[in-house]
Amino acid sequence: MKVLIRAARIVDAQSPLNGHVRDVLIENGLIRQIGESLTVEESDGPIQLIERDGLCISPGWVDMRVSAKDPGYEQKEDLSTVCRAAMLGGFTDIAVLPNTKPALDSKDTLGYIRQAAQGHAVNVHPIAAITKRTEGQDFTDMIDLHHAGAVAFSDGELPLTHPDLLLKTLQYLRPFNGLLMNRPEEQNLTHFGQMNEGLSSTLLGLKGMPAMAEEMMIERDLRLLEYTYPGATGRSVGTVLHFSTISTARSVELIRQAKAQGLPVSCDIAAHQLAFTDSALMGFDTNLKVNPPFRLPADVEALKQGLADGTIDAIVSDHNPQDDESKNIEFDHAEFGIIGLETAFALVRTHFPELPLEDLIDKWTNRPREILRLPALTIGENQPATLTLFDPEVEWTYERTASRSKNSPFFGKTLRGKALGIINKGFVDHL
């Protein structure tokens, strides 16, 4: 069946058609024709028409940080529900964390992910564990995992605490140009922490998680990166070390300086970090308990500046489903995390509308693909039809989710900008 997208604005910095309104004809998974007022004969077979006011299209979006919970925690999420949530959020590709049970630390578990994701419109890319069971002790066989399809290596929700582990991982990945992703947190400083350390945590009587814990880890990792790659630049070797979900002004500045020195480093932020500061936790809403925690207004402004000047390469949902038993309890005992696949795009459009749309889409398309070594995509004739459909201006209310879990502070909130669906692998899923 053919698909005709009528009068859509193309948002793709890599395409000469960027910013133009065009019809797009898709057949057999390829973009066959792009033009104005295209006509298709019904005698050529059935045609699916996609047409609506405000429609935009871009290459398929990539979410670099998703906790799928499958295998092992299917009561919170499974690969079918996470793929459905990703589609509703506009993502054709998601990279899933290794913190499952069993962990993604062997060819067998990576094979399970590939098999379970078959038949879904969303591409699921496993991030393999650096250490067995993500316990931070014994190394996995990263070369085998690389050949088995791992797009990157990380202990996911758990940072590499020991500097020797990070140094040896950088050295081990170098021969095959592997990517190390680390969440910067010095856990010896955040033990039993519940939220950002500051005035709000003092007023609430909650143990704080100091910004210094994140910043010290970034400083350490950058020193080890420079030691491992003396004289190398990101332009010559690509990204080698990626920091996941940074949250403080000092973190942004450290990475900005490292990039200016040419170090092969990149970073992302979670979309929800733009929506709240730590003062929002005064009501003890466990849906606002996230890690890294919501910080100060100055930190949020620094994140926005980092997005605007390119210091921050990508935006992630940091989708982390938690069931009622993990969230509907006392704040001290509640698990960290919120679901975010369906709201990530809207949160940025709502809370940082000054960011040019082309720059925002680049942080979900070109940059994540470059960092993860995924094939580049662009909108052009005879190119793969891997597309995201969206309306950047429409206002809507978040009322329900495809996720198994409901841990979101955004239910009932009116947001700006909405993903309308995806086209990928011959699937056409749209609202």
What residues are annotated to the active site? 318
Do the Cβ atoms of 2 and 47 come closer than 8 Å? yes
Q: Give me 341's structure tokens.
A: 């696949």
Give dist(CA 342, CA 86) in Å, integer.
7
What are the residue ranges of helices labelled H in 189-264? 199-204, 211-228, 234-237, 249-260
Cβ neighbours around 356 below 10 Å, total: 10
CA dihedral (287, 289, 292, 295) in degrees, to 10, reads 100
Residues 6 or more apart whose Cβ sits within 8 Å of residue 306? 252, 255, 256, 269, 312
Give dist(CA 9, CA 18) in Å, integer.
8
In sequence order, what are the beta bridge partners of 124?
94
Residues 6 or more apart whose Cβ sits within 8 Å of residue 74? 404
Give dist(CA 210, CA 351) in Å, integer.
24
- Looking at residue 150, what DSSP letter applies? -
What are the residue ranges of helices labelled H in 90-210? 107-117, 142-147, 163-173, 199-204
Give dist(CA 17, CA 176) in Å, integer.
35
Do the Cβ atoms of 79 and 116 come closer than 8 Å? yes
DSSP code string of 318-349? -B----HHHHSS-GGGSPP-B--TTTHHHHHH
Do the Cβ atoms of 314 and 367 come closer than 8 Å? yes
Residues 6 or more apart whose Cβ sits within 8 Å of residue 42? none
Going from the C-alpha of 244 to that of each of 43, 187, 214, the distances in angstroms are 51, 15, 11
DSSP code string of 344-387? HHHHHHHH-TTS-HHHHHHTTTHHHHHHHTPPP---STTSB--E
Q: Give me 413's structure tokens.
A: 């909130």
